[in-house]
């Protein structure tokens, strides 16, 4: 079970809730948020229902539930794993990834599913970078000599969380890493462009996916209409304003999308000036 539409249905959605599966619960405290959108895989691994699981992530949907439920989650580089069959949000950012009890298992699963797929052309981009075995990179002294940038604003949010983050930083330093405070957020002002990009790509991707899917709904507009018709069952706690506003977008040829895409390129250029992220 996962957050319905990967938490891309409503601004008030509940992580881990879907109209098909109900509410996924945090195994450490059943009344607490399991985070999302890949809530079920993280909880299943955390509760020892399985050794490994697969989540999907656009922005944080593996990392957050992995963190909240105390397991290892990894978002691979887009193109390392095939996305074939996954309902999309963003064709430029989506990917599946491993969710496991430990780092070693994550490395094993990463290699097992890495490869090219004719159904996902992005996987054909750099086949030489796809390796069958990532265990070779698990080194006890792997942090020695590495430069790790830490966004300064993250160290001034909540005293208890700040203390935990500082402890992790101290551990990385003790393992040989050079930890450098950075002010990346001050240099990169994304604003609403990221959300604009996601909505445009979401509408395009969902329409393409549903057009050939074995389902009665064939477009995003059909999904919206279905939810309205079955509101009591499909939308008992929150609505679908993100679906509706995404449906209003003009497509990947629109100036709004092109502007958002250009900003993404600018951000890459800015971050490329750092030799640490």
Alpha-carbon span 196 to 59, nearest angstrom = 14
Say yes or no to pLDDT of 259 above 90. yes
Q: What is the residue-averaged pLDDT of the chain?
A: 93
105-120 mean pLDDT: 96
Alpha-carbon span 68 to 42, nearest angstrom = 9
Question: Which tops the pLDDT comparison, 36 or 267?
Answer: 36
The reported pTM is 0.91
Alpha-carbon span 2 to 42, nearest angstrom = 10
Alpha-carbon span 144 to 133, nearest angstrom = 22
pLDDT digits (tens, 9 = 90+) for 12-44: 999 999 999 999 999 999 999 999 999 999 999
∠ at Cα 186 (181, 188), nearest 5°?
A: 110
CA distances from 8 to 35, 89, 93, 211 (A): 14, 8, 14, 20
Question: Which tops the pLDDT comparison, 156 or 108?
Answer: 108
> Virtual CA dihedral for 114, 138, 44, 46, nearest 10 degrees?
-160
Alpha-carbon span 192 to 260, nearest angstrom = 9
Q: Residue 199: which residues within 8 A CB-CB, separation 6 or more?
A: 242, 245, 246, 249
> Facing residues of 149 across strands?
180
pLDDT digits (tens, 9 = 90+) for 149-177: 888 888 888 999 999 999 999 999 999 99
Going through the chain in order, the beta strands assigned E by DSSP cover 17-18, 22-23, 52-57, 72-73, 95-100, 147-151, 178-182
Q: How confident is the model at residue 182 (pLDDT cuts 50, 70, 90)?
A: confident
Q: Residue 275: which residues within 8 A CB-CB, separation 6 or more?
A: 147
Alpha-carbon span 91 to 108, nearest angstrom = 25
Q: How confident is the model at residue 263 (pLDDT cuts 50, 70, 90)?
A: confident
Q: How confident is the model at residue 275 (pLDDT cuts 50, 70, 90)?
A: very low
Nearest to 37 by CA among 192, 189, 198: 198
């Amino acid at each position: 079970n996962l957050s319905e539409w990967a938490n891309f249905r409503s601004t008030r959605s509940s992580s881990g809730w879907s109209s098909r599966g109900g509410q996924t619960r945090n195994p450490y405290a059943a009344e607490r948020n399991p985070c999302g959108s890949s809530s079920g895989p993280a909880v299943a691994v955390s509760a020892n229902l399985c050794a490994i699981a697969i989540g999907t992530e656009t922005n944080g949907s593996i990392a957050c539930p992995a963190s909240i439920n105390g397991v290892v989650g990894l978002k691979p580089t887009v193109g390392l794993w095939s996305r074939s069959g996954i309902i999309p949000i963003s064709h430029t950012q989506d990917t599946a990834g491993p969710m496991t009890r430990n780092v070693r298992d994550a490395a094993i699963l990463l290699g097992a599913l890495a490869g090219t797929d004719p159904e996902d052309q992005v996987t054909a981009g750099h086949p030489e970078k796809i390796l069958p075995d990532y265990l070779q990179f698990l080194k006890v002294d792997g942090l020695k000599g590495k430069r790790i940038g830490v966004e300064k604003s993250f160290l001034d949010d909540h005293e208890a969380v700040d203390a935990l983050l500082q402890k992790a930083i101290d551990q990385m330093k003790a393992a040989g890493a050079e930890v450098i405070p950075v002010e990346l957020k001050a240099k990169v002002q994304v604003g609403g462009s990221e959300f604009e990009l996601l909505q445009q790509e979401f509408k395009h991707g969902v329409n393409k996916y549903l057009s050939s899917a074995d389902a009665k709904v064939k477009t995003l507009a059909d999904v919206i209409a279905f939810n309205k018709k079955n509101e009591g069952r499909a939308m008992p706690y929150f609505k679908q304003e993100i679906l509706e506003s995404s449906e209003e977008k003009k497509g990947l040829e629109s100036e709004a999308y092109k502007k958002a895409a250009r900003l993404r390129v600018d951000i890459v250029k800015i971050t490329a000036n750092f030799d640490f992220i």
